[in-house]
Chains A and B, each alone.
Chain A
Amino acid sequence: MIGLVHYLVFAGILFCLGLFAVLTRRNAVTVLMGIELMLNAGNVNLVAFNRFVGSGVNGQIFALFIIVLAAAEAAVALAILLNIYRTYKHITVDEIHLLRG
């Protein structure tokens, strides 16, 4: 029988995959993809806890709001990436370093 811990471990792996992408990727779009994986992992946790621990639909509503926020965040991040691309002609994160010290 699939229980709570199955979902938690699933979400944990998803989160760590996203974290790994964030830490190693140098292209800003792939970093964003990693962030989306991490947010999805959090959402799976919320919905799983809602089913197995909580009552009502509070966890699901939380997850619903997160999905909306993630969309807004992706929109802002991509607008900023486009802006960076116009000024730098690339979006390789660790080659953008005027600010140092």
Chain B
Amino acid sequence: MSFEASIWYLVALLTLGTGAYVVFTRNIVRAAFALVFTFLGVAAMYVFLRADFLAAAQLLIYGGGITVLLLFGVMLTHRHEGMELKLDPLKALPAVAIAGGFFVAIWSAARRADWDLVAPVEPVGTSEAIGSAIMTTHLLPFEEISVLLLVVLIGALFVARRSGEEEGS
């Protein structure tokens, strides 16, 4: 096994391990912190895939923004009860079956499809290509997402602000 491959396996193991910890732990704060490491592991995967810009975006938005949001969510909604989570054994069995079945489907689709592989080019950096694509071929989705963020954040602010006012009164 080459050096890069062994590092890859290590990162994959860490990512999936922390991911599994998120799913199985009974403490919600620990789950949120484990999730940070899963996100970082995925960012490392992007580095392996030579997607440097995306790795940076993953670090900033997932590792920073979304985790902080989730932690806020945990802190703000667990004042009246403990941080312990209940796991429902009755629901776990069918869930194992569904998730397992799903994995078998993914496995067989991924392994047996004759993917039309191309020789990977070694890009020098993807920022420039992504920047020019956003301004040319992907201009429409880019603009659409800007309107989306405006509308949706007005909605999110409305919902959150309202609950704050009610508590104050």
Residues in chain A within 8 A of chain B (CB atoms): 1-2, 4-10, 12-21, 23-30, 32-34, 36-37, 40, 43-44, 47-48, 50-58, 60-61, 63-65, 67-72, 74-76, 78-83, 85-86, 89-91
- B binding-site residues for A, Cβ under 8 Å: 2, 4-5, 8, 12, 15-16, 19-20, 22-23, 28, 31-32, 35, 38-39, 42, 45-46, 48-51, 53-54, 57-58, 61-62, 65-66, 69-70, 72-74, 76-77, 80-81, 85-88, 91-92, 94-96, 98-100, 102-103, 106-107, 110-111, 115-118, 120, 126, 129-130, 133-134, 138, 141, 145, 148-149, 152-153, 155-157, 159-160, 162-163, 166-167
Q: Would you call B2 and A1 a contact (CB within 8 A)? A: yes
Tell me the dominant secondary structure on chain A's binding face: helix
Residues in B whose Cβ lies below 8 Å from that of A30: 22, 28, 31, 85
Q: For residue A27, give the distance in angstroms from its CB to the closest CB of chain B.
A: 6
